[in-house]
């Protein structure tokens, strides 16, 4: 009899625990839905466009929530939003918008030289950005005069040293000629078997960076260089993991 009561108590406790877990999950889902709705409404009010929330970040014991978002219909324009409890919004949509445009120019110039690349660009812009991304890249460069473009450039590994790879150097010069802004490149090569996945993540993840590249894709070589009106300069901080 005692044994039956013990089993019954254990079963009842299990049911209560599962019910509590389910209710907690439902509550979290509702909170996330409400948060996503608020963020998209604020973004649409700010920019006059439609947006989607891809992921809600950790918000426990904080006064803000981080969300990863993208423009509706454009999976390759991810960006980060931070919203405070009071509903104040801080995001890097405009920065990522123009960063993606610079990446497109760089990748196009490398494709013209038969080199497949992925890139993540940070713009050094002391004069800031327009309130909305409603001007062309050419107009942004002309009006806001960014100081430089800093590019993590990822390519499939080859045996040719960067500074002896003529198509590579030509592509860099072509990119500079198209943009007329100094480009500082942090070049990384990965195994050809890993390149496509690395390229896809670079296009889809807002926080994809050098640390992730090294951790997940086993960088084979690294080098840095810059290209400007004086040409290309390769630096000595060379890394070879072959």
Q: In this predicted structure, what is the pLDDT of residue 152?
A: 93
State pLDDT tens for residues 196-232: 999 999 988 888 888 899 899 988 888 899 999 999 9
Long-range contacts of 218-221 (CB under 8 A, 24+ apart): 218/190, 218/191, 218/194, 219/188, 219/189, 219/190, 220/157, 220/189, 220/190, 220/191, 221/157, 221/162, 221/187, 221/188, 221/189
Q: Does residue 237 register a pLDDT over 50?
A: yes
| Inter-helix orientation angle 137-144/93-111, to 10° | 110
* Average confidence (pLDDT) over 19-37: 53
The CATH number of the structural domain formed by 94-240 is 3.10.310
Tell me the C-alpha distance between 217 and 120, whole Å: 15
State pLDDT tens for residues 133-161: 999 999 999 999 999 999 999 999 876 66
State pLDDT tens for residues 78-136: 999 999 988 899 999 999 999 999 999 999 999 999 999 999 999 999 999 999 999 99
* Average confidence (pLDDT) over 164-179: 92
Indicate whether this model's pTM tops 0.75: yes
Q: In this predicted structure, what is the pLDDT of residue 20?
A: 38
Q: In this predicted structure, what is the pLDDT of residue 120?
A: 93
Q: What fold does the segment set 2-91 form as a domain?
A: Nuclear Transport Factor 2; Chain: A, (3.10.450)
Domains of the chain by residue range: 2-91, 94-240
């Amino acid at each position: 009899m005692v044994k039956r009561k013990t089993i019954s108590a254990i079963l009842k406790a299990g049911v209560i625990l599962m019910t509590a877990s389910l209710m907690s999950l439902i509550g979290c889902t509702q909170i996330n839905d409400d948060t996503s709705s608020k963020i998209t409404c604020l973004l649409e009010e700010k920019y006059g466009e439609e947006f989607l929330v891809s992921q809600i970040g950790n918000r426990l014991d904080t006064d803000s929530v981080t969300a990863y978002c993208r423009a509706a219909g454009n999976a390759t324009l991810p960006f980060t939003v931070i919203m405070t409890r009071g509903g104040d919004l801080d995001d890097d949509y405009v920065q990522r918008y123009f960063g993606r445009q610079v990446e497109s120019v760089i990748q196009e110039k490398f494709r013209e030289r038969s080199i497949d690349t992925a890139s993540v660009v940070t713009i050094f812009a002391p004069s800031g950005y327009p309130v909305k991304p409603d001007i062309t890249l050419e107009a942004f460069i002309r009006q806001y005069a960014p100081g430089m473009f800093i590019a993590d450039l990822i390519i499939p590994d080859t045996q040719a040293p960067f500074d002896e790879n003529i198509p590579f150097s030509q592509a860099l010069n072509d990119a500079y000629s198209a943009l007329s802004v100094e480009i500082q490149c942090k070049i990384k090569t990965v195994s050809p078997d890993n390149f496509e996945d690395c390229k896809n993540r670079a296009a889809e993840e807002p926080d994809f960076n050098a640390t992730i590249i090294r951790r997940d894709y086993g960088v084979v070589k690294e080098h840095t260089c810059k290209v400007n009106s004086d040409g290309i300069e390769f630096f000595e901080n060379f890394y070879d993991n072959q």
